[in-house]
Structure 1
Amino acid sequence: MKLAYFGFPHRGGTYTVYRLLRDELAPFGTELCWIGTGEAAHRAIRDPAFAAELAHGFVTGMATDGEQAQARALVNALEAGGFDGVIVSVLADRAQTNAMRYLAAPMLRIMIVHNITPATYAAARAIRDHVHATVGVSPRIRDDLVRSYGFDDGHTVAIPNGTDLAEHLPAVRPFVAHAPLRLLSLGRIEDVAKGVFWLPQILEALPADITLTIAGTGPDAERLRALAMPLGARVRFTGEVGPDAVDALMKTHDILLAPSRFEGFMITAVEAMARGCVPVVARIHGVTDSIITDGADGLLFPVGDWRAAVAGILCLERDRPLLHRLAAAGCWTAHERFRADLMASRYHTLIRRLAHDRPPIAKPLSFDHWRMAGGLRPGLRSYLPSPIKNVLRVLRERAVS
């Protein structure tokens, strides 16, 4: 079977999922190719860092195409390329998501939902009737879609994201009784989702010998630098981190600190656990608590409660045997539950089932009547000031946890 994956090479979670699925589905006889469109996709194929990826996909249309032309180019490429189906990460790109409503009837189509935000759910609802199956990357997403957005219980599944752990077999770190703790924040530096502005508050409340490395880039990096300035050398910013540097960072830090307001999944927690770096992260119902068992292989604290994060880190600072036990247990959790081959096997099972039992879906729309689905257009919530949205997100998570 030949499937397309809407997207293009970039340093991000949706492309990492594609790359792992591509490699792991190949032994099952499924060829997975990426297809991109639009200005960003054309820019990506000129980036030398992604040269090797050009063997696995292609870009359609012109860099200056509008959304309708982008969608038409994608649909034409699928038909001309002999593809049997397509996988789309909802809302990763608006034109690509909307194109699912215009695909030819025989084309198998699977939607992946990567986040728990109302905007993501609205976009998923907009194309719900034009896909044969939907994958939520966490149990929370799957349950929300079925319970509140009318998704078919029999064709909506939870498949956790996986990661390549082949080179990181479970290995217990040497026990260290008294060395100062080294904290790590890794990922996009952005406060609305990731809660990064709480990091300086957390560190300030901890003993002065505890340090924090903030690895990554993002729109709030400069403001976070300013907030962290009074902490001096206790905070180190690395800037952009390539995939090759992640292993060393996690192996040289004791705790992954993630005070996120919302996530669809938290692959950095899995990657940290596999390397013996203990996750201390916000409890996001059906998401982070589906990865981490509090007190067994990591610690969870209520969303927005930075003082509880401090208490958890202090507990590990004082109880080094506990830190050691959590690190060892986390290694096994990652390898037993979140390997890339397990993720691919679950997708293969879904694809094979759909090949024999494909549910009826809505008829494809005509490009002569192109329009963007309502759920893909900005809603009233998008105009709320960020501080108000942040409060609402914290209250929502407190209510469901």
Structure 2
Amino acid sequence: MKIAYFVQPHLGGTYTVFRHLRAGLAPYGIEFCWLGLSSRAQGLDPGLEREAAFGSFVETAALDDAGSTARLVERAILAGGFDGVVANVLSDRVLTNIVRYLPADLLRLMVVHNITPGTYAAAAAIRPHVHATVCVSQRCRDDLVKRHHFPAERTIVIANAVSLAAFPAGDRPPRPIEQGLRLLFLGRIEDASKGVMWLPDILERLPASVTLTVAGDGPDLKRLKAAMPWRPPRVVYTGAVAADAVPGLLAAHDVFLMPSRYEGLPMALVEAMAAGCVPVVSALRGVTDMIVADGRDGLLFPVGDTARVAAIVHALNKDRAQLHGLSLGARRKVAGAFTVERMAAHYAALLREIAANPPPIAAPLALDGWSLPRGLRPGLRTFLPRPVKNWLRGVRERL
């Protein structure tokens, strides 16, 4: 079986999931290939050149409308001999929408990676045209089934997972109390979802012996640096981090700090726990509490409660036995339930099931009538001022 996975190589969780699935599904005789859009003739980003062997771009440089691009995507899928496709909802609007137009004999899954209203609206727009929906967290499934009327029997949870082979096999030794805690933020430097502009207030409340590494890049990096101008070693900015360098980076830090407003199931959190880097993360119902058992393998705090975050870190700084116990618990949690082998087995079973007994779906639409449905067009929330949207997101999680 050959499957096109709608993503293109990048430093981020969605592509990391693809890499893990590609390796994990190979023993099942399932070939995963990435398929992305390119607006110009260009190579892959530095450090990702070797990924060219595992997929291809649909070149769109000469095209000026989405319908023409869609025709090229369909042609590439048919010419590539694919048996099915996996659409990552909203990773690209054209690739998300194309599932409504593909030939009826192609298998199609969609993966829902986030818990935002916009993501759910896009998923609902293509729901009639997919055989099954994979949700990366329980929250995604609960919301889609209960609020958006997705069929329960075709909406399943398959959590993101890691390859344990990339991480040290042994447990971490206890860290001496005379050494200050090393905090790490790892991810996209963006405030709307990741809450990065809470980091300065958190660090301001902590003693100078506690350091923070900010790893990643994103649209709010300049703003964050202006708000948090401390010099090394108090604050270190690494820039983007290559995927194969992530385990070593996590191993060099004690606490993984994630003040997000919303997530699906972040790969960085799973990776941190696999490395024994203790997660101190926002309490997102059905997301972070799906992997973090508060007080056993990590610690949760209410979204936006910077004082609570600082209090948690203070406590860990004084109680290294608790820090060590949480580190051990985090590693064991991932090893027991969030491995690539487990994730791949679930995907393989789902793909084989729908290949053998494909459930009925809507008839494909004609490409001549290409259009984006309402759920794939920007909604009113898009035009709200950022502070208003951030406030609404925080209120939603607290309620």
- Residues 171-210 of structure 1: matches in 2 within 5 Å? 171-178=170-177, 179-210=179-210
**Distance 1:370-1:176 versus aligned 2 partners, 3 A rule:** closer
In 2, Cα distance between the equivalents of 1:46 and 1:189?
21
3-state SS of paired residue (1:8): coil
- Structure 2 residues without counterparts, runs of 5 or longer: none
- Which residue number in structure 2 is paired with residue 319 of structure 1? 319
- CA deviation after TM superposition for structure 1 residue 245, in Å: 2.3
- CA deviation after TM superposition for structure 1 residue 6, in Å: 1.4
Aligned residue identity for 1:173? R
In 2, Cα distance between the equivalents of 1:212 and 1:60?
40
2:78 corresponds to 1:100: no
Aligned residue identity for 1:54? A
In 2, Cα distance between the equivalents of 1:152 and 1:290?
22
- Which residue number in structure 2 is paired with residue 89 of structure 1? 88
Aligned residue identity for 2:360? P
- Residues 217-228 of structure 1: matches in 2 within 5 Å? 217-228=217-228
**Distance 1:47-1:394 versus aligned 2 partners, 3 A rule:** closer
- Residues 286-305 of structure 1: matches in 2 within 5 Å? 286-305=286-305
- Which residue number in structure 1 is paired with residue 60 of structure 2? 62
**Counterpart contact for 2:110–2:130, Cα < 8 Å:** yes
**Counterpart contact for 2:129–2:364, Cα < 8 Å:** yes
- Residues 342-357 of structure 1: matches in 2 within 5 Å? 342-357=342-357
> Can you list the C-alpha shifts for 1:266-292, whole angstroms capped at 9, x where unaligned?
221111111121010001100001010
**Counterpart contact for 2:44–2:52, Cα < 8 Å:** no
3-state SS of paired residue (1:17): helix
**Counterpart contact for 1:171–1:328, Cα < 8 Å:** no
- Which residue number in structure 2 is paired with residue 159 of structure 1? 158
- Which residue number in structure 1 is paired with residue 75 of structure 2? 76
In 2, Cα distance between the equivalents of 1:203 and 1:30?
46
Q: TM-score, normalised by structure 1?
A: 0.96
**Distance 1:46-1:21 versus aligned 2 partners, 3 A rule:** closer
Aligned residue identity for 1:253? H
**Counterpart contact for 2:195–2:260, Cα < 8 Å:** yes
- Which residue number in structure 1 is paired with residue 146 of structure 2? 147
In 1, Cα distance between the equivalents of 2:208 and 2:57?
51
3-state SS of paired residue (1:174): coil
- CA deviation after TM superposition for structure 1 residue 68, in Å: 1.2
4+ residue runs over 6 A deviation: none
- Structure 1 residues without counterparts, runs of 5 or longer: none
- CA deviation after TM superposition for structure 1 residue 176, in Å: 2.4
- Which residue number in structure 1 is paired with residue 335 of structure 2? 335
Aligned residue identity for 1:67? A
**Counterpart contact for 1:185–1:215, Cα < 8 Å:** yes
- Which residue number in structure 2 is paired with residue 9 of structure 1? 9
Aligned residue identity for 1:206? L
- Which residue number in structure 1 is paired with residue 30 of structure 2? 30
3-state SS of paired residue (1:229): coil
- CA deviation after TM superposition for structure 1 residue 391, in Å: 0.6
> Can you list the C-alpha shifts for 1:52-82, whole angstroms capped at 9, x where unaligned?
2222222224323231122111112222222
